[in-house]
Structure 1
Amino acid sequence: MIIKRLLGLYQKSYDRRPLLTLCCTNGTLGIIGDGLAQRINYKDSKTHTAIHNQLPPNLQNDDLPPPSPSFHLDFARNARFALYNFSVAPLAGSWYMFLDRFFPLPNTTSVTQQKSIKQSAGLIALKRMAMDQSLFAPAGLILFFTTMGIAETGTLEGAKDKLKDAFLPALITNYKIWPLVQWINFNFMPLPFRLPFVSSLGILWNIYLSWLNNASKHHQEEIHHPHHHVDSS
């Protein structure tokens, strides 16, 4: 009942202010994703086991300083993720609208034709997913790591280093997860709920990107300042 009411409120907000609704929803989910990532990173830093061992070899750093006795949220890092997710929401929302127009479902009132449309809906969703994953997924990762690199270092060189470290591992992981998720999204979710659906599942993806982004940051700090450690931010 509560979920139904929340969905109703979201739909009303989307109908009135679609872009603002998407921005606020995406920004909030970005805050949650990065906050969880920081907490998981903190716990893993004590043992350097599960998460650490999944990093690309060049990003595994066993010489980091020991973690602080208690967990403290890095608000600057959290704010960067929130601002990025908030800002990118109109682009993602417009992309989904474009895919709906580019691969439309035909309109009909015929019961027979409606059955045929349902059968072809999976194929149309597959086409939308294929275009999304071939174009938007790599472009989105380039945008993410470029933005984070510039935000963290203030230079284009920092963005290039970030892309060199993190883009390919993130893209490979993306193709292990998101094709199926996006096919489900395009096949079953109404347009207003596609970005929130992706962003909700994307909390886990944000955890991964935050973790990979932070590992790349430490890696570049080691390259440029090999004996100077800075707290993650």
Structure 2
Amino acid sequence: MGTLLVVAWQRYLHSLGKRPLITKAITSGTLAAVADVLAQKMGGAKHLQPKKSALMAVYGLCFGGPTYHFFHKIMDRVFGAKTDPSTVIQKVVVEQLTFGVMYNLAILTYRAYVVEGLTWAATKAKVRRDYWGVQKQGWKLWPLVAFINYSFLPPQLRVLFANVLSIFWVCFLIMRSKVATVKDR
């Protein structure tokens, strides 16, 4: 088993080196689908809804992975590869006030409009109602993730690290959405 994991990791790193954007997009899509399946199970679903998981995979593939990939490229251009505490804190603040804000808005909107199939008016109302609470919760988790990312991980692994932790974040968002939807009825 250990050898299999080593070979899989080596192949992943090879793919990441040759096709970083595609590799990150596919990884993000896969992990978004995993998060959705976990959230459905945690929410007590007796039968999985594969369409919802597939739509979350599309989100990760087309938006999550690519935007995070390009965001880190921009951050590397702006700040370089410095990992001193002052630079890392600047990176964390910039990420949380730009990418984090935009990402949470995007995923809440996508989840409501595309995955849940709400009307545009209902989507706007839901996002307006939920956004600030989600953002505040995000600021409890993501600054630490960003700090670890910028301090200890090589640039090519930053998206993977965030994607793995996004499994828990997406589960939180989906579960929060379910609770809010139940309360609305």
Settle same-fold status: TM greater than 0.5: yes
* SS of 1:153 mapped into structure 2: coil
Q: Please, which runs of 5 or more residues in structure 1 have no aligned partner?
A: 43-66, 107-119, 223-233
Q: In the alignment, what sits opposite 2:18?
A: 16
Q: Percent identity?
A: 25
2:67 paired residue among 86, 91, 97: 91
* Structure 2: distance between partners of 1:179 and 1:30: 20
Superposed displacement of residue 92, structure 1: 1.1
Between the two proteins, the alignment pairs up a number of residues equal to: 181
Deviation of 1:214 after TM superposition, in Å, equals 2.8
Cα RMSD for the two superposed structures: 1.8
Partner of 1:137: 100
2:131 match:
167
> What CA distance in whole angstroms lies between the structure 2 residues aligned with 1:196 and 1:158?
33
Q: CA deviation at 1:23?
A: 0.9
CA distance in 1, matches of 2:161, 2:101: 20
Residue identity in the other structure for 1:161: A
Q: Which structure is higher in helix share?
A: 2
Match for residue 28 of structure 1?
30
TM-score (norm 2): 0.89
Q: 1:155-194 maps to which residues of 2 (within 5 A)?
A: 155-194=119-158
1:113-149, CA deviations, whole angstroms, 9 ceiling, x for partnerless residues? xxxxxxx523222211110001111111111111222
Alignment of 1:1-233 (within 5 A): 1-2=2-3, 3-42=5-44, 71-88=46-63, 89-105=65-81, 121-151=84-114, 152-153=116-117, 155-220=119-184, 222=185
Task: Work out the CA distance in 1 between the residues paired with 2:17 and 2:181.
Answer: 40
Aligned letter for 2:57? A
Q: Which letter maps to 1:35?
A: V
CA distance in 2, matches of 1:96, 1:82: 21
Give the letter aligned to residue 68 of structure 2.
A
Following the alignment from structure 2 to structure 1, what is the Cα–Cα distance between the partners of residues 85 and 11? 29
Q: Is the 8 A contact 1:105 1:124 kept in 2?
A: no
Normalising by structure 1, we get a TM-score of: 0.72
How many angstroms does 1:218 deviate by?
Answer: 3.9
Provide Cα deviations, 1:51-91, integer angstroms capped at 9, x if missing partner: xxxxxxxxxxxxxxxx7xxx211112212211111111111
Instruction: Find the aligned partners of 2:31 and 2:102 in 1 and give their Cα distance.
Output: 21
* Distance in 1 (alpha carbons) for counterparts of 2:59 and 2:177: 13
Q: Shift of the alpha carbon at 1:219?
A: 4.5
Residues 191-223 of structure 1: per-residue CA shift (max 9 Å, x gap):
111111011122111110111223334445x2x
**In 2: Cα distance, 1:74 partner to 1:147 partner:** 17
| Rounded Cα–Cα distance in structure 1 between residues aligned with 2:172 and 2:20 | 28
